[in-house]
Each structure stands twice: as C-alpha cells, then as structure tokens.
Structure 1
Amino acid sequence: MNQLLAEEEREAGSGERIATNLRTLLILEILGRSDAALTPTEINRELGLPKQSIHRLCSTLVEQGFLVYEPDGKKLRPARRLRAMASGILHASRVHIARHQILQDVAAAVGETVNFVVPEDKGMSYKDRVDTDWPFRVQLPIGTHVPFHCTASGKTFMSTLSPRARRVMVESIPLDPCTANTITDKDRLLAELGEIARQGYALDREEFMEGMVAIAVPIRDRRNRFLAALAFHGPTVRLTVENMLERKSMLVEAAGRLTQTLTED
C-alpha cells in the first residue's frame, strides 16, 4: 500500500493529469478502437502513464475478467466480461433507435421539424430531432438550450409541476422578453401553465422567436411523471396555430408510443 501511494504521489508530481477513475476506462476505449491485440506499452502510447501504472492497471483488468492475454503472453484483447458489457451497451442503444424512428414517423406525418426535449439547469435541451425536408426551416440543433418560459416544450414541462412548484419556478427564473409576444408577467404565465396542465399541450405563439410557432406535449413514465417533451415547430409562412392543433393528435399518439419505448422493462 505504501508503495502504491508513493507511486501515485510521483505521478501527481510528474504532471500526470488523467484522473485515476478514468484510466481503466481509457484503456478499454483504446482496445475497443483497435482491430488488433495490443501490449500495455502500445496502449500507453496514447496515455503516457508511468510504466508501472499501465502494467498494474492492465493486470487488474485481466484479473477482473475484462481483458485477457494472447497466447504469447504479451498482447491484450477484450475478454468475456468486456464483451458482455459492450453487448449490453449495444442492446441499450435500441431505445435511442426506437425513439428516433418514432420522431421520424411524426416528422413525416406533420411535415415539420420534430424535437425530443428534456429539462436541464440551463433550460430545455434538444436531445434528438428530425428535420423537415423543407429548404426553409428554423435551425435549433441537438444540444441547443432554450428558455422555459417562452417555448412550447418549456411550458409543457412547467405545467406538469405541482401548482406550488410552478410558482416557485416561475418566481426563480428570468422571464426575459425574447419577442413582443413573450409572456413576462408571472401571474399571466402561471395562469397559462394551469391551462396547459388541463388541456395537455402547450403552444409557442412566436414567443421565443419571431416568425416561428410550435406545439408540444408531455412524454410521461408509467407513474405519470414527466420524462420529456415531444414538439414540432415551423415558420409562420406555412404553419399556423390552427394547423398545429389539427395535428396535435399525432403528437399525443407518438408520446404514448415513446412512453412504452422508454419505460419498457
């Protein structure tokens, strides 16, 4: 133990910057990218760890069943446990594939860009989307954060909170005016959130961006808790509130399918 502590102290003093809990993951990542078995020295060309450290980490991974040495006793390759983990990750990705397929179905049906949006500290975050084929469209790429108070997805999320939690949130976030239509009055916004909770969908009437309208519905888990918002948006030159409401049932049906997909056992 004293020898191990001394070794780690030497690594810290030598300018080593790779966090200890990331080292084994990086070793597995390097082997996962390689189409051939690698020696610890070959693995370490990307990591630059002290020689003793890379050999110790590789030995631990061998002992735990993640790696195995080739018959020559020098090169490492993935073992049963790592292959099982990789298989599990690939299996889990089926949820993303199924989710994206549902978004594609909705986009084909409504003819506009469809988004899967979740709440984060910075606002509502676009996690998945299918763009419309129209050359004129509103660009909100995956990873974009948009405000809670003036977007259909954000208002959908806030409407699913309890009345008390809604008020706390409305009073704690900035209600900055993004357009002339943005609701910046707290009581008016709370009243709209109550209406959204009753009707089951939210509208953005050019509140976030001039010339853009949107509609969103909640995706819930099997205990009726909010998971995400399913929304579509488009420019006002071809999309109106009436058009969106005519297609609302497509969103509601897809949200039900997403609940089944995302919460299956």
Structure 2
Amino acid sequence: TEDHVPIRLAARAGDHAPLHCTAAGKVFLAFAPPARRDELLGQITYDKYTEYTLTSRQQVERDLLLTQARGYGTALREEFLQITGMAAPVRDEKGDVIAAVSLWSLDRDASPEAVIARAGDLLDGVKRISQQIGWAPEEEEA
C-alpha cells in the first residue's frame, strides 16, 4: 500500500529552503534583529507549496509572534504536505541566534500534535547546545 512507500527528505549543508514555510526559517526570521527581519520579510515571494502554506506577509508576521512567544517555530504541512516540522534557536554567548535545530516527522508516523508535544524536549536540547557554546540564559523569576 502507499503507507509503505519510502520517502526520503534530507537537508544538506548549503541547501536553501524558503523562510516563510519552514520551521527553521521562521526561527531565523522571528529572532532576527527587527530591521533585518523587516528587510527579509520584504524580499520573500510567499510562494504557495501546499494548501497550508502561509502566503502573505501578514500571516507570517502573526506566526512569528507565536514563534517568539513559544520559543520555537512550526511548519505544519506548509512546505511539504506530509511533513510537520518544528525548530528552535541555538544562541551564541551574546544571545544571538546562530543556528536552529529542527525536527521533522511524516504525518503517517506522528500527527502534528504529537510532534508539537515534544517541544519541551527540543527547547531543552537547544538550551544545552547554546550553553555549551557560551550562552548564559537569564534566570527565570520565581
């Protein structure tokens, strides 16, 4: 059956992906300095890849506010119809975002809700990576 058709999707160093419909792209946009974010949002063509793709600057800006509030970005079938992705920022010693760790899942293996349920694990992981390269997060107020 089609459920057993192998699917290969692998990102390689140097690959390019759209910023507006990938979880890592949304992380880079959300945590970029405001002037840089505005510049990038003005350059995006907002191409539609699936019926779930955000196709306007306003839609993406709303999603970026959620990304900032949650601390991670999502791409819910936005670039590829069968893929749900989630990404979180890796920070350097100054707190600047220098990378993103992203997790993807095929919908046949995990629902979007099941992927998002692992957000805490992703956030814990990027926090540890960031701390290993010198980031010292501000202490949370009790």
TM-score (norm 1): 0.46
Gap regions ≥5 residues in structure 1: 1-134
Structure with bigger RCO (C-alpha 8 Å, 6+ apart): 2
Work out whether residues 151 and 208 of structure 1, in 8 Å CA contact, stay in contact via their aligned partners in 2.
yes
Q: Is 1:216 matched with 2:87?
A: yes
Q: Is 1:151 matched with 2:25?
A: no
Q: Is 1:171 matched with 2:42?
A: yes
Query: 2: distance between equivalents of 1:233 and 1:253?
Result: 17
Letter in 1 for 2:82: G
Count of residues in Structure 1 that have an aligned counterpart in Structure 2? 130
1:205-235 Cα shifts (integer Å, max 9, x gaps):
1101111111111111122100111111011
Query: 1: distance between equivalents of 2:68 and 2:33?
Result: 10
- 1:205 counterpart (73, 76, 81): 76
Q: Percent identity?
A: 24
Q: 1:195 to 1:141 in 2, by over 3 A?
A: closer
SS in 1 for 2:45: coil
> Which residue number in structure 2 is paired with residue 228 of structure 1?
99
Letter in 2 for 1:256: K
Letter in 2 for 1:184: T
Q: Is 1:245 matched with 2:116?
A: yes
Q: CA offset at residue 165 of structure 1? A: 3.0
Query: 1: distance between equivalents of 2:112 and 2:104?
Result: 10
Query: 1: distance between equivalents of 2:113 and 2:6?
Result: 20
Letter in 2 for 1:158: L
Gap regions ≥5 residues in structure 2: 136-142
TM-score (norm 2): 0.82
Q: 1:188 to 1:252 in 2, by over 3 A?
A: same
> Which residue number in structure 2 is paired with residue 142 of structure 1?
12
Q: CA offset at residue 137 of structure 1? A: 4.7
Query: 2: distance between equivalents of 1:230 and 1:212?
Result: 16
Query: 1: distance between equivalents of 2:76 and 2:108?
Result: 13
1:25-74 Cα shifts (integer Å, max 9, x gaps):
xxxxxxxxxxxxxxxxxxxxxxxxxxxxxxxxxxxxxxxxxxxxxxxxxx
Letter in 2 for 1:179: T
* Greater radius of gyration (CA): 1
Query: 1: distance between equivalents of 2:11 and 2:106?
Result: 16
Structure 1 runs of 4+ off > 6 angstroms? Answer: none
> Which residue number in structure 2 is paired with residue 82 of structure 1?
none
SS in 2 for 1:231: strand
Bigger helix share:
1
Q: CA offset at residue 136 of structure 1? A: 4.3
Q: Is 1:190 matched with 2:61?
A: yes
> Which residue number in structure 2 is paired with residue 4 of structure 1?
none
- 1:258 counterpart (112, 129, 142): 129
Query: 2: distance between equivalents of 1:164 and 1:227?
Result: 17
Q: RMSD over aligned Cα, in angstroms?
A: 1.9
Q: 1:136 to 1:262 in 2, by over 3 A?
A: farther
